Amino acid sequence: MNPKFGPGHFYALLSLGLLLVLVGLGSAHYMESHGHIVTGMNNHVVWGLPHVFAIFMIVAASGVLNVASIGSVFGQPVYKPRAPLSGLLCLAMLAGGLMVLMLDLGRPERLIVAATHYNPRSVFAWNVLLYSGMFAIVALYLWTMFERSMNRHSKAAGVAALIWRFVLTTGTGLIFGFLVARQAYASALLAPLFIVLSFAWGLAVFLIVQWAMYAWNQQQLDPAIQRRMARLLGLFVAAAFYLVVVYHLTNLYFARQAAFEAFILRDGGVYPLLLWGGYAAAGTLLPLLLLFHPRLGGPRATLLAAALVVAGALAWLYVFIIGGQAFPLEIFPGHVASSSFGDGAIAHYVPRWPEWLLGLGGIGAAFVLTTIGVRVLDFMPQDDFATLKADAKGAA
């Protein structure tokens, strides 16, 4: 650890993270005590802004482990030194996302009911096993990396983690894909879409954390390695954007989805604005320009592109999760339904401060776990520059 980033800096960062966690817990207690009436959620929009934060962290947790898989499973030497940090971020983000998810749903103490009364026909019950298994497998994976006598099992553990995270992200996508009560979600494309989105979001988070660690230690990442990871991020972002376009074109093909697509793409107010401006322009096209333009490339451009990808991910999830609930259910196809309950009307939703604070609390939890892990164990990537530079230049 560089002397300029000593114990004082560590405790300052830890205090900041713990403050965010306490604020998030206090917000959850406030919502638990006063009811969700203090939020912007209602009987139509039951998954609000905290779910945007939670789903982002859970999906990105799966994707960030892709860095370790490329190194351990596929034998790419550039990524092997980054595998431990990849595993740590996976556990931290998964813990933070699940914290927000459990506290937002209300009655978190009833989680024991889900654990003791398993319903094999529920995709939510599947995810209880998937999340628990992810913690166990990634912890084992990290053990094989740090314990020298276990190094020979690292590839096998990496393969198990690779398969499990594909299944986990598929399960996250199917939470929405199997939700037939919301016509915005019911699509088989959501499983592969969430897998590809996880690649882009996870790598973007990893690049931001890696940059912070190098900056704190007054080190610089080898330019050839930086370019290689930047190009990989660009490929993931482009692939994710392609599947998002396919998802919307598929919906447009079906007449029953035309009204929903018009709402999301044109008439929905904030939702088209976030989709076109937040995700498509700022979260996809601008990062691709920064990552692939020969004159704009560099560490700062890569960092900015990664930050924009994260911002675009939150914008897309807001449109997908909340916009999908705001659009009215088609209870009687071919007929107009209206009632005092609001059937047939666009649901109104504006997130309130308890939701923002709870989401930030989950990010704080992931930050605290990452900060402690980096301080206690050696998660700093240690590159053999003589070998990696030649390999990265050859690949470029």
For residue 91, tell me if it sits in a domain: yes
Query: How buried is 70 (Cβ within 10 angstroms: 0-12 exposed, 13-18 middle, 19+ buried)?
Result: buried
**Do residues 303 and 326 lie in contact, with contact meaning Cβ atoms separated by under 8 Å?**
no
- Of residues 40 and 339, more confidence is placed in 40
Q: How confident is the model at residue 396 (pLDDT cuts 50, 70, 90)?
A: very low
Q: Is the pLDDT of residue 340 over 70?
A: no
Total number of domains in the chain:
1
**Do residues 69 and 82 lie in contact, with contact meaning Cβ atoms separated by under 8 Å?**
no
pLDDT in tens, 269-299: 899 999 999 999 999 999 999 999 888 778 8
- Residue 1, pLDDT score: 43
Please report, for the domain that includes residue 188, its CATH number: 1.20.1630
Closest CA to 230 of 304, 165, 166, 162: 304
For residue 109, tell me if it sits in a domain: yes
- Of residues 8 and 54, more confidence is placed in 54
Indicate yes or no: pTM above 0.75.
yes
For residue 177, tell me if it sits in a domain: yes
- Of residues 366 and 375, more confidence is placed in 366
Q: What span, in angstroms and rounded, lies between the C-alpha atoms of 291 and 306? A: 9
What range does the domain containing 140 cover? 18-230+343-395
For residue 50, tell me if it sits in a domain: yes
- Residue 77, pLDDT score: 84
**10-19, 179-188, 203-212: least confidently modelled range:** 179-188
For residue 347, tell me if it sits in a domain: yes
- Of residues 223 and 28, more confidence is placed in 28
For residue 245, tell me if it sits in a domain: no
Q: Is the pLDDT of residue 40 over 80?
A: yes
**90-94, 132-136, 171-175: least confidently modelled range:** 171-175
Average pLDDT over residues 254-262: 85
Average pLDDT over residues 374-389: 69
Question: What's the angle, vertex CA 325, arms to CA 324 and CA 328, rounded to 5?
Answer: 100
Share of the chain above pLDDT 90, in %: 50
CA distances from 127 to 131, 174, 269 (A): 6, 10, 33
For residue 326, tell me if it sits in a domain: no
Q: What DSSP assignment string belongs to 180-205?
A: TT-TTT--TTHHHHHHHHHHHHHHHH
- Residue 231, pLDDT score: 93
- Residue 6, pLDDT score: 64
DSSP H helical segments within 35-153, as ranges?
Answer: 49-64, 66-72, 83-105, 111-116, 123-146
- Residue 335, pLDDT score: 65
- Of residues 246 and 110, more confidence is placed in 246
DSSP state for residue 260 in the 8-state scheme? H
Q: How confident is the model at residue 2 (pLDDT cuts 50, 70, 90)?
A: very low
Average pLDDT over residues 143-165: 89
Q: How confident is the model at residue 343 (pLDDT cuts 50, 70, 90)?
A: low
Q: How confident is the model at residue 226 (pLDDT cuts 50, 70, 90)?
A: confident
Q: Is the pLDDT of residue 13 over 60?
A: yes
Q: Is the pLDDT of residue 89 over 80?
A: yes
Q: How confident is the model at residue 106 (pLDDT cuts 50, 70, 90)?
A: confident
Average pLDDT over residues 335-344: 65
Q: What is the CA radius of gyration of the chain?
A: 22
**211-220, 242-251, 325-334: least confidently modelled range:** 325-334
**19-23, 171-175, 189-193, 237-241: least confidently modelled range:** 171-175
- Residue 322, pLDDT score: 94
Average pLDDT over residues 211-236: 87
For residue 387, tell me if it sits in a domain: yes
Name the one residue in this structure whose structure tokens are 């972002």. 237
